[in-house]
Structures are given as C-alpha cells and as structure tokens.
Amino acid sequence: MPVTDELMACFRERFGSEGDIRVYFAPGRVNLIGEHTDYNGGHVFPCALSMGNYGVARKRNDKTVRWFNMTYPENGVITADITKLAPEDNGLWYDYQLGVLWAFMQKGYEIPCGYDMVMISDMPAGAGLSASASIEELAAVIAKDLFSLDVTMSDCAVIGQYSENNFNGMNCGIMDQFASAMGKKNNAIFLDTDSLEYEYVQLNLKAERIVITNSNVKHQLAGSAYNERRSQCESALRDLKEVIDIKTLGDLSESEFDKNADAIKDPVNRKRAKHAVYENSRTIRAVHALRSGEIEAFGKLMNESHVSLRDDYEVSCPEVDILVEEAWKVEGVIGSRMTGGGFGGCTVSIVKNDHIDEFKDRISRVYREKTGLDAAFYIADAADGARRLL
C-alpha cells in the first residue's frame, strides 16, 4: 500500500473521514560539502532527498492541535492548545511541530485554529539527514497551505530555523531547513547562508551515484557539542574582528585567515575557525569543479572536508571515520565524507555505478568486523522540496 494511502487510512480511523483532508511531504537532506559553515556565514551545497516525512491534515474549528505519528505509535495522540505554546524541548518529534506554530505566531502570522494531523517517516532518525528540519518544514507547509499564510518557501525555511533556535534550543544554521523547503529534483542548492542568495546546480552525475551510508550510531553529546562549536566560532570571530573588518568567518579567504589567525587567543577556537574558513573555500571550489565536469576534483575536496571535520572541528567519531577511510580504499569511489552535525549519523559518498555493489559489500564486511555494527545504505536522489501532494 502506498504510504499516502496508509496515512489516509490511519487518519480516518483516528480522526474521521469528513471534511477537507490534505496530504503533504517534506524531505530530509544530504549535504554534499559545506559542513558547519551555515552558522558561520559561509556557503553550503545540500540537496533534498526523496526520503522524508509525510503528513495528512485537516483544519479544526477550535484552538486545539491533535497529532499522531505512525513512526512512534507509542506516543499516542499528542494534544496541545495553540494559545498556550511556550519554548520547551522534550527531544521528541512533536516539539518541532509545536515550535513552528509558535514561531509563526511570534513573527506576527495568524494561526486561526488548530488541526488534526497524522504523519509518518521513511527516513532514519538521528542519522544526520535532518529529520528535525523535515518535521519543521512539514509543519510549515501544512500551516502555509491550511491557513493561506502569505509566506514563501524561503520564509518557511527561516521560520523553521527560528523555531529550532528559540523553541527547541538548538543553535543550528539555516541549511537544513532551506534544503528541505527549497529542494529541486536532480539539483543541489549552492546557498550563501549569510545573504540567502542561492543557485540550483544540476548534479549531472552520469556514471556515478550518491550513496549515503548510515553508521547506525548517534552519540549523546551531539546537541551540546553542536552548540559548543557555534560558541567557539563566535569567540574566534570576536577576536578576529579586533584586527580585520569582517562580519562573519565566511568573509575570509584562506590566505586572509592564515595572516590573522594568531589574533584568535584560544588555540582550540583557532582550529574551529580554520575549519569554517577553509570549508567555505572548499565548497566554492567544489561547486565550480562540478559545473566544469571535474568530478574527481569534487571528490578530492569531499575527502579534505572530512579530514578537517575530523581533526580541526572534531565532530566525527570512530565509527564514521571507519566508514570514510574504508570508502577511500574502494575502487570507483570519487569521494567520501561525514555529513550532518556529526558524532555519528551518516557518510555521503560519490561512487561509480559499476562499483556500488563492491562498495556496499566491502564497507558492510569491514564495518561489522571493526565495530560489531551493521551499516545501512541508501542510494540518494536529489528531490523537490516540501509541498502539498494531494
């Protein structure tokens, strides 16, 4: 049974079949290069995935929301009064939904009533593929459509980021929400996170595919360490501003950073800032290489990105390092790196079509030998962003 049919059947069972029932989808994302640059005023290069969160929704006549998630049926039906929302985070899926409604109202948009909604996910949670942003953009596109809100999908991305920063307490950048909201089939998004100027870039992978490998680990320090990295970069930026006129770390070239790096007092903060500056430069060069058909150069920059994330930003972990280092040994692998916030989750690799089976077989075997864990693989297709389906 198609997932939308499953959702509709569950909705009718839980909430009845009358009225105007609508179907929505918001994708997850994979970032090809440009990690931890989005809150540093740099460039990113993500694409939306065909995996994500589906939702079926119908307006109510009161101020109540009722939500049921088929992926987590043990939570039961979640009920909330939209007039009494306040920032909180229990680490559960519905906090991201509540946060978006709260954020719309904080920004002055009217949410005139509540709604009933059933959702389901076909993507792994905690894998670094932005399940949280997918939930946020699902909530945003539902509110935009049900209540005829005068917002663009770019606005929905900003609302999603605002809600995660201020309702959920995660100081994320804009990339995840922007990719989920603004994705385009067969394209990645070259986004300047400082100005929000963006371009769609065709992937043009003819003999290669994007392969996502899930380590199936997520270390508990991910959330706190993410906020810590952002704080470290902000401290480094303050030091640099004393000697050079910049607004963000993304304003610096590699050579400008090298000339002024000693102004950063803390050596750890200096490493964090170096990653942000060099990763921004790598991302710009990687997009130029892809446009020029230089896929091997793109892959080399992916590899350099992982080394920087491992050594300078220190957001990788042993399991993910094994996946990447083993991928580098496989013939036909153009490039491989961790993707997402770090401390577990997924890697992203570009692999020649005729070596994908070898890639999966070798990585599966070695990863199990070294960690006792099973890796999972997804062939990624760049897909359209959040939208109403029916």
Q: pLDDT band for position 224 (50/70/90)?
A: confident
Number of residues that this document lists for the chain: 390
pLDDT at residue 219 greater than cutoff 80:
no
User: Is 107 inside a domain boundary?
Assistant: yes
* Mean pLDDT within 361-368: 98
Q: pLDDT band for position 126 (50/70/90)?
A: confident
Q: How buried is 215 (Cβ within 10 angstroms: 0-12 exposed, 13-18 middle, 19+ buried)?
A: buried
Of the listed ranges 128-132, 160-164, 355-359, the least confidently predicted one is: 128-132
Pick from 126, 57, 50, 56: nearest CA to 93: 126
pLDDT at residue 204 greater than cutoff 70:
yes
pLDDT at residue 41 greater than cutoff 60:
yes
User: Is 317 inside a domain boundary?
Assistant: no
User: Is 143 inside a domain boundary?
Assistant: yes
The chain-wide mean pLDDT, for the chain, equals 96
* Mean pLDDT within 10-21: 97
Report which residue type is found at 30: V
- Could you list the active site residues? 176
Q: pLDDT band for position 218 (50/70/90)?
A: confident
Pick from 83, 109, 93: nearest CA to 26: 93
pLDDT digits 0-9 by tens, 263-295 = 999 999 999 999 999 999 999 999 999 999 999
Other beta carbons within 10 angstroms of residue 261's beta carbon come to 18
Q: How buried is 73 (Cβ within 10 angstroms: 0-12 exposed, 13-18 middle, 19+ buried)?
A: exposed
Q: Which pLDDT does position 127 carry in this prediction?
A: 79
Q: pLDDT band for position 200 (50/70/90)?
A: very high
pLDDT digits 0-9 by tens, 43-61 = 999 999 999 999 999 999 9
* Mean pLDDT within 12-28: 97
Which residues constitute the domain of residue 136? 3-30+46-192+384-388
User: Is 39 inside a domain boundary?
Assistant: no
User: Is 152 inside a domain boundary?
Assistant: yes
pLDDT at residue 10 greater than cutoff 60:
yes
* Mean pLDDT within 94-104: 96
Answering whether pTM is above 0.85, one says yes
Q: How buried is 381 (Cβ within 10 angstroms: 0-12 exposed, 13-18 middle, 19+ buried)?
A: middle
pLDDT digits 0-9 by tens, 163-199 = 999 999 888 889 999 999 999 999 999 999 999 999 9
Distance set, CA 43 to CA 31, 35, 344, 354 (Å): 11, 9, 23, 32
Q: Total domain count for the chain?
A: 1
CATH of the domain at 98: 3.30.230.10
